[in-house]
Amino acid sequence: MIVPDSPCRKSVRAVALVVLGCLLAACGTTISGQPVASRGPAATTPYVDGGLARLLPDSSQFPSGYPAVVLPNDIASQAASDLDGILPGAQVEPGACIPLAPTAGPVVSVGTDDDTRATLTVELVRTDQPLSKLRDQLQRCGTVRAGLGGTTATITTELDPPPPLDADDTLALRRTVSSESGGAGLTRKMQSLVGQIGDVRINVTYMSYSDGRADAEALDSLFTTALSKVRKG
Q: Give me the number of domains the chain comprises.
A: 1
Tell me: the pLDDT tens digits for 108-167? 999 999 988 999 999 999 999 999 999 999 999 999 999 987 778 999 999 999 999 989
Domain assignment present for 200 = yes
Domain assignment present for 2 = no
Domain assignment present for 125 = yes
Confidence of residue 180 (pLDDT cuts 50, 70, 90): confident
Quote the domain boundaries for residue 31: 7-232
Least confident range of 4-18, 60-74, 83-97: 4-18
Domain assignment present for 1 = no
Tell me: the pLDDT tens digits for 33-62? 344 444 444 444 445 566 899 999 999 999
Domain assignment present for 112 = yes
Domain assignment present for 150 = yes
CATH number at residue 219: 3.40.1000
**Sheet containing 104-112, strands listed edge to edge, beginning at the edge strand earlier in sequence:** 36-37, 91-93, 143-148, 151-160, 169-179, 188-197, 200-208, 119-126, 104-112, 68-70
Domain assignment present for 47 = yes
Q: What is the pTM of this model?
A: 0.81
Over range 223-229, report the average pLDDT: 97
Q: Are 152 and 29 in contact (CB under 8 A)?
A: yes
